Structure 1
Amino acid sequence: MVERPKRIRTRTKKSAAGRARLVRHAALALATLAGLSGPATAYDLPSLNLGFSSFLDGAPPAGPGWYPTQYLQVYSAGRLTDNRGRSLGLPRQDISVFASLTQLLYISPVKIGSGALGFDIIIPAIISSSADDGLGGAALKAQQGIGDLLIGPFIQFDPIMGEKGPLFFGRIEAQMILPTGRYDAAAAVNPGSNFFSFNPNVAGTLFLTPDWTVSVRLHYLWNASNDRPNVGFGPAVLSTQAGQALHANFASEVSVTKELKLGVNGYWLQQITDTLANGVAVPGRRERVFALGPGALWALKKENFFFFNAYQEFGAENRPEGQRYVMRWVGHFN
């Protein structure tokens, strides 16, 4: 008569302990789920350009001048992965984010050799977000608000021309991510990262024929320290530094009509160094993901361009794995 309650209490304690370990595991994995790159990008790394640039990336659509651009992105994931690509053991792993990016890009008449100087500014924002862990929010918490400001001076090189038109366009940019966005150390989905990042890139578009192009943008990422790390690291961790990474966008499209182009697009991310906690490397947290999908570009006259790109993620490690849909309008005026 006495032993049965004891066994029941023991199982209850084990169940509570297991649930607590699950929450700690999920919180540790979800260090800073952010808003730009996928809203969210993921556990340690800041929000990045994953899939936002695609067709004709190395070439300005209409020459020098001002390019206001508006992005809308829908991202959803039903799977959060560990360092072996396995799902975390949460009852639910549903994350959804609706994000906006407002960009202003300028290509000036000032030139250095064969390149025109320019700059771009991007203000991201998470309009709405939700995270369902199946535990009443014990492990996952989502935030909305303005994200980290991105600024980048660049050089847009003159095109290499052939007999039938351009053969190659190229650009190099020294992009920086400034920690100006909203950040909560207890949240899994954050608009901001709370640390500075240097994210330079090179972009190029190769014309295989006048109506068929291939574009690639390759980024390198370096991150500064975060003096308010996610609570999942524990109270003894006073600072963290996300590892370095490489990531790329790639796309190929063909002209269906003069105004419409259709193609395929994708992105890739690989963290190449370990995250640091209190200056010590934390193994097993490197992030990786691939994505592929269809896309379209509609040119409305010469000053308005509409892009739609869809992506299905796969091969994720230490990241969410889901679907991303990006809609983009690009204008132009002198």
Structure 2
Amino acid sequence: MKHTQLFLGAALLTAASASFATEGGGSTYPVGAENHLAGAAPPPGVYVLEYVNVYSADRLNDGQGNAVPIPGFKVNAVAAATRIAWVTNTPVLGGQLVAHAILPLVKVKVSAAGQSSSSSGLGDVSLGTGVAWHHSPQLHSVAALDIVLPVGRYDAARPVNVGRNYASVQPAYLVSWIDPNGLNADAKIGLNLNRTNKDTGYRSGNELNIDYALGWGLGNGWVVGVGGNVYQQLSEDKAQGQSVPGSKGRAYSAGPNLKYDSGKGWFITAKLAKEFSVRSRSEGTQFWIKTTIPF
């Protein structure tokens, strides 16, 4: 087992030196998570949102978007995250105070050159607060600030971990235009400001992420359209205080999505998005389901 880990670790580190943006090629923010109703806070109360994500990739790209020649490279990940949201009656800046916590369960497996390594368990936990506005029956928005706490399992000797071992601060602005019989447009625009991994001395670069959805309401609770995300790393990673050349990642994704609003307080969204124009990251396909249930 130790030999397997070392062999896989060597393969992954070889890839990382040429291509991985952010430490391990991932992010503390689950890119692509948001869909329709991203910026529309529900009425005051407590809500449970469930996010399910399935991600698979068999290609790793370098800083120029070329495939890194690692035989048998594959990434398979499944995540189920519970988000507990509290919409209060407390007025702030003309809106309402909101708060939430996100607890993700993650399972990830990475294979390369006939070897593989996997990890599963509780990932890093997010805590956040913000202000929600309802500008009109159609236009809604939220300004938010999240902090990601490095509580997920992490071992610097393992090539694969569910925890990142560093904190992140994530300011974001979310906006939704909702029309049950017409245009629906949603976006979450956020920054990911990463801290340093104290065990490795590695600091992942800061990131910009935009989750988006565009659809048309059919008048019966259903909205159909397209969705995806835009990811751009804004600064290079740093190892022991020195910039890592070619480490600024980039990825776009797009695909079909839908929403169903029951009209009784709960709704569900789904999205299948294919990544393209990827640099310094794995390139694959992601599937998301999100449900909201009031209590």
The verdict on a shared fold, with TM-score over 0.5 as the criterion, is yes
- Whether 1:278 and 2:247 are equivalent positions in the alignment is no
- Whether 1:145 and 2:121 are equivalent positions in the alignment is yes
TM score, norm. by length of structure 2: 0.90
2: CA distance between counterparts of 1:26 and 1:43?
10
Select between 199-208 and 247-256 the one with higher mean Cα deviation: 199-208
Q: How does 1:206-221 map to 2 (within 5 A)?
A: 206-207=177-178, 211-221=182-192
CA contact (8 A) 2:130 2:145 kept: yes
2:24 aligned residue (43, 50, 63): 43
2: CA distance between counterparts of 1:23 and 1:45?
13
Q: How much does 1:20 deviate? A: 10
Rg comparison, structure with higher value: 1
Q: How much does 1:202 deviate? A: 0.2
2:145 aligned residue (174, 180, 201): 174
Deviations 1:277-310 (A, max 9, x none): 1111111111110000111111224222111111
CA contact (8 A) 2:50 2:81 kept: yes
2: CA distance between counterparts of 1:115 and 1:302?
23
Q: How does 1:202-241 map to 2 (within 5 A)?
A: 202-207=173-178, 211-229=182-200, 239-241=201-203
SS of residue matched to 1:25: helix
Deviations 1:136-182 (A, max 9, x none): 24xxx32111100001111001x222xxxx24111000111110111
2: CA distance between counterparts of 1:168 and 1:313?
29
Q: How much does 1:63 deviate? A: 1.7
- Whether 1:314 and 2:276 are equivalent positions in the alignment is yes
Which residue is 1:53 aligned to?
34
CA contact (8 A) 1:29 1:43 kept: no
SS of residue matched to 1:143: strand
Which residue is 2:92 aligned to?
112
SS of residue matched to 1:180: coil
1: CA distance between counterparts of 2:81 and 2:10?
37
Which residue is 1:258 aligned to?
220
Q: How much does 1:113 deviate? A: 3.2
2: CA distance between counterparts of 1:268 and 1:42?
19
Structure ranking higher in strand proportion: 2
Deviations 1:249-286 (A, max 9, x none): 01112112322111110101111111111111111111
CA contact (8 A) 1:43 1:319 kept: no
Q: Cα 1:225–1:85, aligned 2, differ >3 Å: closer, same or farther?
A: same
CA contact (8 A) 1:22 1:89 kept: no
CA contact (8 A) 2:196 2:202 kept: yes
Q: Cα 1:50–1:101, aligned 2, differ >3 Å: closer, same or farther?
A: same
1: CA distance between counterparts of 2:203 and 2:169?
13
CA contact (8 A) 1:90 1:134 kept: yes
Which residue is 1:249 aligned to?
211
Which residue is 1:123 aligned to?
103
SS of residue matched to 2:118: coil
Select between 187-196 and 239-248 the one with higher mean Cα deviation: 187-196
**Coordinate RMSD, CA, aligned:** 2.3
SS of residue matched to 2:15: helix
TM score, norm. by length of structure 1: 0.80
1: CA distance between counterparts of 2:57 and 2:187?
25
CA contact (8 A) 2:212 2:227 kept: yes
2: CA distance between counterparts of 1:194 and 1:253?
38
Which residue is 1:69 aligned to?
49
Instruction: Say how many residue pairs are matched.
Output: 288
1: CA distance between counterparts of 2:24 and 2:54?
19
1:55 is matched by which residue type in structure 2?
H
Runs of 5+ in structure 2 lacking a partner?
Answer: 1-7
Which residue is 1:160 aligned to?
135
2: CA distance between counterparts of 1:305 and 1:156?
19
Runs of 5+ in structure 1 lacking a partner?
Answer: 1-18, 33-40, 230-238
- Whether 1:26 and 2:6 are equivalent positions in the alignment is no
Q: Cα 1:80–1:160, aligned 2, differ >3 Å: closer, same or farther?
A: same
Q: How does 1:78-117 map to 2 (within 5 A)?
A: 78-117=58-97
Select between 247-256 and 207-216 the one with higher mean Cα deviation: 207-216
Q: Cα 1:135–1:23, aligned 2, differ >3 Å: closer, same or farther?
A: farther
Identity of matched residues, %: 25
CA contact (8 A) 2:61 2:278 kept: yes
Q: How much does 1:23 deviate? A: 5.9
Which residue is 1:14 aligned to?
none
Q: How much does 1:135 deviate? A: 3.7
